[in-house]
Amino acid sequence: MMQRASASLGRIALIAAALLVLAFLLLPVFIIVLYAFADSNVQMWPIAQFSLRAFHEAIANNEIRHAFILSMQVAALATLIAVLLGTLLAFTLYLYRFPGRSALSFAVVLPIALPGIITGIALNSYFGFVELRLSFWTIVIAHSTFCIVIVYNNVMARLQRLPQSLVEASMDLGADGFKTFWRITAPMISSAVGAGALLAFALSFDEVIVTTFTAGVQTTLPLWILGAIRLGQHLNQVNVVVLVVILLTAIPVLWSQKLMGEAGRLHK
Amino acid sequence: MAVAELPKGPSPLRSASAFFWRRPSALGTVLGAPPILWLGLFYLCALLALLLSSFWQVDSMTGQIRHEWTLANFHQLIDNPVYRKIALRTIGMAIVVTITDVILALPLAYYMVRIANPKWRPILYMLILIPLWSSLLARVYAWRLILAHDGIANWAIGLIGLPPGTIGYSYWALWIVFSYLWLPFVILPTAAALERVPSSLLEASADLGGNDWRTFLRVTLPLAAPGLLAGTISSFSLTLGDFVTPMLVGGAGSDFIGNAVYNAVGVANNTPFAAAFATVPLIVTALYLYAMRKMGAAE
């Protein structure tokens, strides 16, 4: 009896701890949502009055609009490059055994396995070395490089779970390699490619560390936020922009989660 | 030629397919060349440039980078106590944050996998993915609002009748925020590893008289350890490379390696020194990865 009672007490404590940790994870996200609607120029809790004033001000702010457009362009282009190259890379490493393959599959994940500051300063040194002036394109190159890994990870995970028998059946029934790819392989990996694309977009849209070192005079939306916070300017507009960034990163992720079908299969 | 003897004349696609079928290396080259060239040209060359430029120096007269080999940057790193302190502070924080995240991740991961109704599991995963993927900057900023003098933390402390604290802009704030930021990275692989522990083993342990706690310590934890350790790679290496968090919630004089690198590039325009300093997290991360692999962390 004693042991049963202590076991269930332990279980209650565990559940309480788990829910506390979950609350800890979600609290800041709620805070962002609340502050975006605060009708005040000073950041104070409790929030006295709610309004949409900060939204109107943020929409009217030209700097924010330019930064938003730049971030969208960078994210869209980086995603496109990452989808093409990441998918190709996954196929290459999945289908072929060649010398240096394991070294390559290790090197591939470095852009996200290594601290962002290393990728950032490495690209900064490199662009300086080859005398490539920092511009829109250097941001796109930097973002594509770590976005490739995201797409690669998702497509590779899917390929490894594909039953090889379907491909063999298709070939046995007379389809050639291309037909088999379009009719069998492509439909089965398309959702993984889509999920990878959404994650890559989300990652690029809010990236700040690598961007700092590769943007030069360009200001992406995260760089605008960072600058405004440091200067303590337009903080009520920062609240709104931060909410928009959260939505623009969280929505693709939840969508990609749905695409991948099963929980916990996203590969960052 | 086998292809020519097919009853119908082969379509170009079909002969291309046959060509690649007979020469898989040709297809492999076509598929693999673009991504490998990209990563080689932009990533591996960049890492090489990082290593090379850490041995160069900025000419104090012209401000140009001199391509002459020198160990001056590394001498400066080792001899100047300021940089040693920054490096130790960063590594120490990475260790403390990693331990904190393991302690916080275990109960939630265990609850998700073993206790919660499986029907709720996808929703729980989603609730962890939202903070994982929503903007890093946004989450750091949220903590700045929470821990500020007029923020929620002090408001809550006031509710229970205590004087307002000064958590904001301190090591405590950095510890809380770093632990918060990387927690989902530790929870997800831990949950995945717990899920893979076969329930038959848990039943066997219970049948043999092990209570929940003993089963957890002797069966579940050792089997889930590789996943847990793999998760700590993220919390450790991400702390080493961040400069946004110290910039926004750290106090004065709490520079991390990231900030020193940021300042060397942005303020002092001394890329070679920044590159030399960036080799510190590079080496520390590599050592950590190696140690984790030795301890059996999942790939």
From chain A residues 190-229, the ones with a CB under 8 A of any chain B CB are 199, 202-203, 205-206, 208-209, 212-213, 222, 225-226, 229
pLDDT of residue B98: 96
Looking at residue A264, its pLDDT comes to 41
CB A249 within 8 A of CB B135: yes
Backbone φ and ψ of B164, nearest 5°:
-60, 140
Q: Distance between CA atoms of A150 and A154, rounded to whole angstroms?
A: 6
Residue B105: Cβ within 10 Å count: 26
Respond yes or no on whether ipTM tops 0.85: no
Under-50 pLDDT residues of chain B:
1-2
Angle in degrees, CA A90, A93, A97, rounded to 5: 165
CB contact under 8 A, A253 and B139: no
Largest CA distance in chain B: 92
pLDDT less than 50: residues of chain A: 1-2, 263-268
Q: Where are the beta strands (DSSP E) in chain B?
A: 57-58, 65-66
Q: Which of A28, A245, A254 shows the shortest C-beta gap to B146? A: A28
Report CA-CA distances (Å) from B143 to A98, A158, A179, B140, B296: 48, 36, 53, 5, 35
Two tokens, residue A131 = 């005398």
Assign A257 to helix, strand or coil.
helix
> CA-to-CA distance for A96 and A87, rounded, in angstroms?
14
Q: Chain A residue with minimal CA distance to B212?
A: A7
Q: A50 with B153: CB under 8 angstroms?
A: no
Alpha-carbon distance values, B207 to A52, B170, B202, B221 (Å): 61, 50, 9, 18
Provide the pLDDT for residue A219.
94
Beta bridge partners of B58: B65
> Cβ separation of B139 and A28 shorter than 8 Å?
yes
B 37-76 → A contacts, CB under 8 A: 38-39, 42-50, 52-53, 65
CA distances from A228 to A151, A238, B248 (A): 32, 7, 11
Q: Which of A75, A187, A231 is nearest to B135 (CA)?
A: A75
| Half-sphere exposure for A95 (CA within 13 Å, toward CB) | 22
Amino acid at A165: S
SS3 content of chain A, % helix, strand, coil (to 5): 80, 0, 20
Task: Dig out the tokens for A150 from the structure.
Answer: 């995201």
Calculate what percentage of chain A has a pLDDT beyond 90: 41
Q: What is the 3-state secondary structure (H, E, C) of A123-167?
A: HHHHHHHCCCCCCHHHHHHHHHHHHHHHHHHHHHHHHHHCCHHHH
Q: pTM for this structure? A: 0.85
Whole-angstrom CA distances from A242 to A209, A228, B172, B174, B203 are 16, 11, 24, 20, 48
pLDDT in tens, B124-159: 988 888 888 778 888 999 999 899 888 888 888 888
Task: Kindly determine whether residue B261 and residue A110, on different chains, have CB atoms separated by under 8 Å.
Answer: no
pLDDT tens-digit series, residues A169-192: 888 887 877 888 888 888 888 888
- Alpha carbon of A234 to those of A142, A224, A240, B205: distances in Å? 29, 11, 10, 60
Which of A31, A94, A101, A118 should we substitute to test contact with B (largest number of B Cβ atoms within 10 Å)?
A: A118
Question: Looking at beta carbons, which residues of chain B come within 8 Å of A226?
Answer: 137, 244, 247-248
Nearest CA in chain A to B289: A113
Nearest to B244 among A27, A209, A245 (CB): A209
Q: What pLDDT does residue A265 have? A: 47
Tokens of A127: 């662009």
Residue type, A23: A
Of A7, A84, A125, the CB nearest to B50: A125
In a mutagenesis test of the A interface, which of B36, B123, B137, B183 is the best target, namely the one with the most A β-carbons within 10 Å?
B137
